[in-house]
Amino acid sequence: MSIALALVAAASLLPAVALFLQMREVSTAFSTATDSVSALERQISPFATALRGHAVAGYFSPRSDAKTDVAAARNRFIVQYSLAPTILVADSTQRLVVADCAEVPSCHALAGAAGLEVERDFGSGWLLLRRPVR
């Protein structure tokens, strides 16, 4: 009987032992907000103020197609999560458009070709674009 009790208890405590061994090796344990969602949210936080009061805005990323590329889709979803309650639609005909142009040097030209003007450049490839009123 004692064997049965000891077995269940020992098996249950294995993750605890593993955790302590792991934490001894990992120097970043308990470091704050090191994940990709937090990092991206910090980057694009200035958009939140700029988009305040706008229920819908466009989302423009010339890097890849968010419908087929998981990484691009993930990026777009995180941006949506960060900028809620503004709804981001994959449509550059909106009045305000959030552009994710990291690693795309020709983004300004692409935006211009799409008939958009740069409203603000937040750095790291993040642009707020505006469609001029005609």
Partner 1 sequence: MNALALFLLAAPIAATLPLMLALGAPPAAAAALAVGVGLGASSIGLLLSLLAGSGGLLVAFDATVVLAGLLAAARLRYPHVRKEPWRPVQVLGCALLALAAGTALVAFFANAFAKPHGEWDAWAIWNLRARFLARAGADWRNAFSADLAWSHPDYPLLLPGAVARLWTYLGATPTAVPVAVALLFAAATAVMLYGALRDLSGRSPAILSALALLGTPLFLEHATWQYADIPLGFFFLATLALLAEADRWPERGWLAFLAGVTAGLAAWTKNEGLLFAALVVAVRGASALVGSAAERAAFRRLALGMCPAAVVILLFESFIAPGGDRFNEPWTEVWARLSDPARYGQVAAALATEAARLARWVGAALVVYLVLVGPAAPESRRPSYFTAAVVLLTLAGYVLIYVVTADALAWQLRSSGPRLLLQLWPSVLFAIFVAAASPHERSMPPAAIGERARRQVNRRSAAASWRRSA
Residues of the shown chain interacting with partner 1 in the complex, contacts defined by CB under 8 A? 1-5, 7-16, 18-20, 23, 28-35, 37-38, 41, 55-56, 73-74, 77-78, 80-81, 84-85, 87-89
Nearer to partner 1, 16 or 113 (CB): 16
Nearer to partner 1, 29 or 109 (CB): 29
Distance between CA atoms of residues 73 and 88, nearest Å: 12
Closest approach of Cβ 112 to partner 1, in Å? 26
Task: Provide the 10 A C-beta neighbour count for residue 30.
Answer: 6
Closest approach of Cβ 4 to partner 1, in Å? 4
Closest approach of Cβ 65 to partner 1, in Å? 14
Closest approach of Cβ 66 to partner 1, in Å? 10
Contact in structure between 58 and 89 (CB atoms under 8 Å): yes
Nearer to partner 1, 89 or 109 (CB): 89
Nearer to partner 1, 64 or 77 (CB): 77
Distance between CA atoms of residues 35 and 44, nearest Å: 15
